[in-house]
Amino acid sequence: MPKRAEKPELAKAYDASKVEDGIYRRWEKSGYFDPDKLPNGKKRTPFTIVLPPPNATGVLHVGHATMLAIEDLMIRYKRMRGFAALWVPGTDHASIATQNKVEKLIQEKEKKSRHDLGRKEFLKRVEAFVKGSQDTIRNQVRKMGSSIDWSREAYTLDAPRSEAVIEMFNRMYEDGLVYRGERVVNWCVRCTSTLADDEVEYKEQNAKLYFLKYGPFSVATTRPETKLGDTAVAANPSDERYKEWIGKSFELDWGKGTKPLTIRVIGDHEVDPKFGSGLVGVTPAHSAVDFRMAEKNKLPIIKVIGEDGRMLETAGKYAGMTVLEARHAFVKDLEAQGLIEKVEELTNNLSACYRCSTAIEPLTSLQWFVDVNKKIPGRGKSLKELSLEAVKRGGVKIIPERFEKVYFHWMENLRDWCVSRQIWFGHRIPAWYCADRHVTVARKAPKKCGQCGKKELTQDGDTFDTWFSSGTWTFTTLGWPKAMKGGKKTGDLKRFHPTSVLETGYDILFFWVARMILMTTYALKEVPFKTVYLHGLVRDEQGRKMSKSLGNVLDPLDVIPKYGTDAVRLSLVLGTAPGADAKVWDEKIAGYRNFTNKLWNVSRFILTSVSKVRREPKKPPAKTLADRWILARLEAVTAQASAHIERYEFSPAGELLRDFSWTELADWYLEIAKIQMQDPKLRASTEKVLLHALENVLKLWHPYMPFVTEAIWDLLAGNAKGKKFLMIESWPKAAKKPAPAPKEFALMQDIIAAIRNIRSEYKVEPAKRVDATIVAGLKAKLLKDNAAVIRTLARTENLTILAKGEKPKDAASAMVGGIEIHLPLAGMVDMAKERARLEKEKANLEGFVKGLEAKLANKGYTDNAPKEVVEKTRAMLAEKKEELKKIEAALGS
RNA sequence: GGGCGCGUAGCUCAACGGUAGAGCAUCUGCUUUACACGCAGAGGGUUCAGGGUUCAAAUCCUUGCGCGCCCACCA
């Protein structure tokens, strides 16, 4: 008997909460999250993922948990495969989002606005808030088991990133790619800032379409108040009704207290003659489309709405009113003058801020833009062209592939990128102005104006669009620009960039992924990453988006204590596909918790029943059919799971492993191992097979469920010399095309299942052993060799295996392949019932045989179908016919 | 207006051209010395509908219906 000390003490049920934090601490302390510190770390081939930096607005949600689970899976897999696996953590300052959040908090607590506090004080508050969020985020990332290199942590608003952003902007300025201009921008009245086109959301609403008497015409509009800023009216040039008017002008008077307007009639193909009256009142200052018409036709621009959402002096008597107030007042005045012809109802889209849902006012404003269409000096291509090429030429591969089309469509239609935001929290734009409004763009605060030499300069008060800084994330986290020496990459940048995979949600393909490609191809002349893996959104059981207002948000930190991190990770990875939304709910996680416990108990059984706990890395010799079977299955599963993971098919790989671990290893092999270990001749070899299977199963599962596997590994290899973490063990090897598992085992399974089925059918008490006769023909020897297995798993008493024989009297029968199984259940078999059961079986078989015969009689089939398929059908027919014969014989007796 | 995805057992999803599978749920049994977070057995499907291609279709093509999403934005 082994010494007691060698037997691990194992709890009956796995308790994740007791082991996870301790294991994480040990991993972290080991230093292996840093690829340089791995054994032979410097010699390994790099594999890099940068963490999409979570917004510093607060806590991580289940979407972040999905991201962490998938990325950690890839990192752990590659680490075990011998790569220098680097995963870079960080957080995003998320300018607008964070500023809004802190503003709200201060408003609630202190009833103060950011203006009450002033820029400096407000920013101090934001920074304090961010520090707290970062701590929370770090803890949550650790809780998920992320093997991420904390020594390389970055923040989008820290000094190195700040230097990088300034460098980028200056380079673009020097290349003539940035300009400051008056353009119609999406203006959020609440944030008092511009928004990029993709930061605007559209919501369907019911609106009124007013038909106004508009000089000699009728013009339809949903925004009457903007008509105070019209400078033209546009018609489709092909519209016969207005053709002769094009080019002419007229005076338009909206009544007392307004300034008369001079309106020119212009032609534009964008006008739909079928909508409204076929005429559009052109308001260049408050519509992007109208602005373009104004540029083409050199129209004057009258701004009537201000940055505060109130009407300007140009709106005459309506000045000072909010947009809505002005609309009501103006409509009332028009009605009084009889200038409203009719009002129709229609549904249109209201544009709103993606951060605070406030209605967007398009208005002209002086902003900084990045020109995406201008050729870059020395490159001969525009930013847009470079970004398209990166994906078109295969430098960047997007998974799932259909998102490549989405990317192309978006990129092809990209307009100049407004990068300035009237937000306090962010990277200040490195532009300075003198009293004469000359602009100086520089890397450091200049001493004097670059144009006139004046010494009093003020820096632009605006900050950058948050995506302008996060767009540089892959290379700034690796040391750019400092790591560039003599135009060449050095250090981490050289070793780890381009990164290998960018894993993120498809919802930020445009916001972030596209911007990273744009910024990186520009700055480094290389792609930021080779593969983009897009995960889907996580939804609740009913398929709804998770949101605070619905109260259906699943907080990873709530479920981790309940089910364990491994279970949570499995529930987010299995049953999902890239780019497809996934549903998660409590019971699903509980199901995977059950599986972690299953794995624990499989291990518990193996570790407590072997004579000595030890590693068994080499494939042991197989002494029995079951040994051969489980070893073959293990190798096949290893090969298949590896192939799936290489193809980013994480769910199929996991399902394969799950079925293998649970059904094949636990339900079949472990039960047989119990029998084999009773036999002194088989005991040692069976232990080897068990330990070998366990060792490999732990390795295969480790990227999915790092905690429980590492905990068991500790018990398995804890005493071994040179004991290492499972985390850095090497991935199991398998032949590319492993030998198939022996078919004879499947026959055994079928026989056992058939006996169990009859027992259940006739309600034989589970504990009761019954006699059985198996007439097995050529398979008799095989079954005799494995009689102990059948006897135990099917609970038989006297098991008679014959090559040839008669059916015993009053027996219940079943046919499996060419084999007859008879259970003489004396006194228990109701022969009428047995007959009915067999008749039913016979009818089924006859139908099936008929189908196969018809198939084979069809010349079209035998001529056209592949030989193997036809052969298979023939073999099947022969087998089923044999079975049918036996059933008929059983019925006849 | 343009594009994409999905519709398979009550639920969540597999099978992607050759007899429709799994987990959960349901039903029937069971303290079988690893696990009741378990074991054994069972029931449950005109694969949304119609048409086509094929010897063969859940799988390919086509039309329609239903659900979801993205882009554009209409004054």
Q: Tell me the pLDDT tens digit for each residue of A687-706.
A: 999 999 999 999 999 999 99
**Pair type for strands A200-214 and A217-221:** antiparallel
A874-886 confidence digits (pLDDT tens)? 999 998 898 888 8
Q: Is the link from the previous residue into A446 a cis peptide, with omega within 30 of 0?
A: no
C-alpha A67/C-alpha A76 separation (Å) is 14
Instruction: Find the Å distance, CA of residue A463 to C1' of nucleotide B9.
Output: 57
A121-163 confidence digits (pLDDT tens)? 999 999 999 999 999 999 999 999 999 999 999 999 999 999 9
What token pair was written down for A441?
Answer: 């763009």
Instruction: Find the Å distance, CA of residue A795 to C1' of nucleotide B11.
Output: 36
Q: Name the closest nucleotide to A281, judged by C1' and CA.
A: B75
Strand B proximal residues, A:523-542, Cβ < 7 Å? 541
Instruction: Find the Å distance, CA of residue A695 to C1' of nucleotide B54.
Output: 48
Instruction: Find the Å distance, CA of residue A873 to C1' of nucleotide B19.
Output: 9
Instruction: Find the Å distance, CA of residue A761 to C1' of nucleotide B42.
Output: 9
C-alpha A55/C-alpha A472 separation (Å) is 16
**Over residues A303-316, mean pLDDT:** 94
At residue A669, does pLDDT exceed 80? yes
Q: Name the closest nucleotide to A766, judged by C1' and CA.
A: B30
At residue A280, does pLDDT exceed 90? yes
Nucleic acid strand B within 7 Å of A266 CB: no
Q: Name the closest nucleotide to A10, judged by C1' and CA.
A: B34
> pLDDT grade, residue A429 (50/70/90)?
very high
> pLDDT grade, residue A892 (50/70/90)?
confident
A847-879 confidence digits (pLDDT tens)? 889 889 989 999 999 999 999 999 999 999 998
Determine which helix (DSSP H) or strand (DSSP E) holds A159, and give its type and residue range: helix A159-174
**Pair type for strands A420-421 and A463-464:** antiparallel
How buried is residue A316: exposed, middle or buried, by Cβ count under 10 Å (0-12/13-18/19+)?
middle
A184-237 confidence digits (pLDDT tens)? 999 999 888 888 887 888 887 888 899 999 999 999 999 999 999 999 999 988
Nucleic acid strand B within 7 Å of A674 CB: yes
- Across chain A, what does the average pLDDT equal? 93
Higher model confidence: residue A833 or residue A495?
A495
Axis-axis angle for helices A119-143, A16-30 (nearest 10): 110
Closest residue, by C-alpha, to the C1' of B15: A652
Determine which helix (DSSP H) or strand (DSSP E) holds A529, and give its type and residue range: strand A529-535
Instruction: Find the Å distance, CA of residue A794 to C1' of nucleotide B40.
Output: 10
Instruction: Find the Å distance, CA of residue A887 to C1' of nucleotide B36.
Output: 38
Q: Name the closest nucleotide to A866, judged by C1' and CA.
A: B18
What token pair was written down for A490?
Answer: 């050095």
Instruction: Find the Å distance, CA of residue A698 to C1' of nucleotide B25.
Output: 30
Strand B proximal residues, A:568-597, Cβ < 7 Å? 575, 577, 580-583, 587-588, 591, 593-594, 596-597
Strand B proximal residues, A:112-171, Cβ < 7 Å? none
At residue A728, does pLDDT exceed 80? yes
Nucleic acid strand B within 7 Å of A602 CB: yes
> pLDDT grade, residue A893 (50/70/90)?
low
The predicted pLDDT at position A42 comes to 93
Strand B proximal residues, A:311-370, Cβ < 7 Å? 346, 348-349
**Chain B: nucleotides under 7 Å from a protein CB?**
3-6, 11-15, 18-19, 22-24, 28-32, 34-42, 54-56, 68-75
Instruction: Find the Å distance, CA of residue A375 to C1' of nucleotide B74.
Output: 33
Q: Name the closest nucleotide to A579, judged by C1' and CA.
A: B5
Instruction: Find the Å distance, CA of residue A221 to C1' of nucleotide B58.
Output: 51
Instruction: Find the Å distance, CA of residue A253 to C1' of nucleotide B37.
Output: 79
Q: What percent of chain A clears pLDDT 90, i.e. is strictly above it?
A: 79
At residue A420, does pLDDT exceed 50? yes
What token pair was written down for A516?
Answer: 């990273």
A432-489 confidence digits (pLDDT tens)? 999 999 999 999 999 999 899 999 999 999 999 999 999 999 999 999 999 999 999 9
Query: Using a CB cutoff of 8 Å and minimum separation of 24, what contacts does A173-176 make?
Result: A173/A441, A175/A376, A175/A377, A176/A371, A176/A374, A176/A377
Q: In what order do the strands lie in the sheet with A417-418?
A: A193-195, A178-188, A360-370, A417-418
**Pair type for strands A200-214 and A261-267:** unpaired
Strand B proximal residues, A:754-773, Cβ < 7 Å? 756-757, 760-761, 766-767
C-alpha A101/C-alpha A130 separation (Å) is 11
- Of A833, A712, A705, the C-alpha closest to A763 is A833
Nucleic acid strand B within 7 Å of A652 CB: yes
**Over residues A625-643, mean pLDDT:** 96
Q: What is the pTM of this model?
A: 0.94
